[in-house]
Amino acid sequence: MASDLRTAEEAPSSELVVVPLRHPWRWVSGAVILLVIAGLGWAMSGAAIQWEDVPGFFTHPVMLEGLLNTIVLAVAAQGGAILLGVVIALMRLSANPVARWFAVGYIWLFRGLPVLLQILIWFNLALVFQNISIPMLFSVPTNVVMTAFVAALLGLGLNESAYMAEIVRAGLSSVDSGQTEAAKSIGMTPFTTLRRVVLPQAMRVIIPPTGNNFINMIKGTSMASVIAFLELIHAANNISSRNLEIMETLFAAAAWYLVMVSLASIGQHYLERAYGPR
């Protein structure tokens, strides 16, 4: 009996050869992909592109000015949208029905319209309102205030704030109500509870979609080119209108977008780690 068992255990390894599963299609599909990439590379090398001019456009003073404007616009619009989004989210969760109703309408409106349309409406505001004023406090001509930058900031920022409001609301709602009760039970005021207990935990839910949205915002600034705001695309067009090297300047702008998005992704990674689960 005992010797039978021993042979049964030993048999597979000592007498039979083990054949590992083969994956021939992995080799085939891998080869196809490499072939496609090589083909694209070959096509690009044969294209009528002055590659040697691209680095010059990459660091062209006009391009760098456009880069700076793009960064300022994206950061300002996103920053404002986050602050506004928190306020709208709190209104959305408020006990006051008027505030809730306002928040729902706000999100419906600013999320519902294309950003490009919103930018154009703000930029053309002077056509319907000659002055922006609060009676007896101040009054300024609309066309002085509503520069291309301000119009782009409002168009991008207000649209984004509607998305941020939903992201922040989801984050706040994701925190267990037991956390609020525990905070209350040690005598915390509502504001301290929000600041010390709820928001830090909501951040874990808020950060990933916010990072995603910020990457969208960086690229969305390109829409400000239609109102002649000097961001990257408008800068590229300015340069190429003089030398007609359209693709070369666009490639230089494209490289800057990839640099910015890569940096934003790295930043997001570290933020997520800072607020990640313990």
Partner 1 sequence: MALVEAVGVRKSFGHTEVLKGIDLEVERGEVVCLLGPSGAGKSTFLRCVNHLETIDAGRIWVDGVPVGFRSANGKLYELREREAAHQRRDVGMVFQRFNLFPHRTALENVMEGPVQVLGRDRAEVRAEALALLERVGLAEKASSYPAQLSGGQQQRVAIARALAMKPKLMLFDEPTSALDPELVGEVLDVMTSLAREGMTMIVVTHEIGFARSVADRVVFLVDGAVVETGSPADVLDNPRQPRTRQFLAKVL
Q: Which listed residue (131, 147, 174, 192) binds partner 1 by CB under 8 A?
A: 192
| Cα separation of the two ends of the chain | 54
Could you give phi then psi for residue 228, rounded to 5 degrees?
Answer: 65, 30
Closest CA to 261 of 224, 226, 221, 223: 221
Binding flag, residue 173, partner 1 (CB under 8 A): no
208 binds partner 1 (CB under 8 A): no
User: Minimal CA–CA distance to 216: which of 169, 257, 254?
Assistant: 257
**Contact between 160 and 74 (Cβ < 8 Å):** no
178 sits near partner 1 (criterion: CB under 8 A): yes
Query: Which is nearer to partner 1, 25 or 270 (by Cβ)?
Result: 270
Nearer to partner 1, 113 or 203 (CB): 203
Interface with partner 1, residue 179, by CB under 8 A: yes
Choose the stretch contacting partner 1; rule: CB under 8 A; options: 78-86, 135-143, 165-173, 187-195. Answer: 187-195
Contacts 24+ apart (CB under 8 A), 97-106: 103/165, 106/162, 106/165
Nearer CB in complex with partner 1: 180/216: 180
Task: Determine, following the binding rule CB under 8 A, whether residue 185 of this chain makes contact with partner 1.
Answer: yes
Q: Does 187 bind partner 1 (CB under 8 A)?
A: yes
State the nearest-atom distance from the C-beta of 117 to partner 1, in Å: 41
59 is an interface residue for partner 1 by CB under 8 A:
no
Is 274 a binding residue for partner 1 by CB under 8 A? The answer is no
Residues 6+ apart with CB under 8 A from 62: 230, 235, 238, 239
Euclidean distance between CA atoms 64 and 249, whole angstroms: 12
Contact between 141 and partner 1 per CB under 8 A? no
Helix axes 61-92 and 148-174, enclosed angle (nearest 10): 40
Instruction: Choose which of 49, 71, 132, 188 interacts with partner 1 (CB under 8 A).
Output: 188
Among 50, 59, 181, 243, binds partner 1 (CB under 8 A): 181
Q: How far is the CB of 179 from partner 1 (least distance, A)?
A: 6
Q: Is 93 in the site for partner 1 (CB under 8 A)?
A: no
Nearer to partner 1, 97 or 277 (CB): 277
Among 182, 228, 263, 266, binds partner 1 (CB under 8 A): 182
Closest CB 209 distance from partner 1, rounded Å:
19
Distance CA 202, CA 262 (A): 25
Q: Which is nearer to partner 1, 203 or 226 (CB)?
A: 203
Binders of partner 1: how many residues, by CB under 8 A? 21
Q: Which of 124, 142, 143, 201 binds partner 1 (CB under 8 A)?
A: 201
Using CB under 8 A as the criterion, which residues of the chain lie in contact with partner 1 when the complex forms? 176, 178-179, 181-190, 192, 196-197, 200-201, 275, 277-278
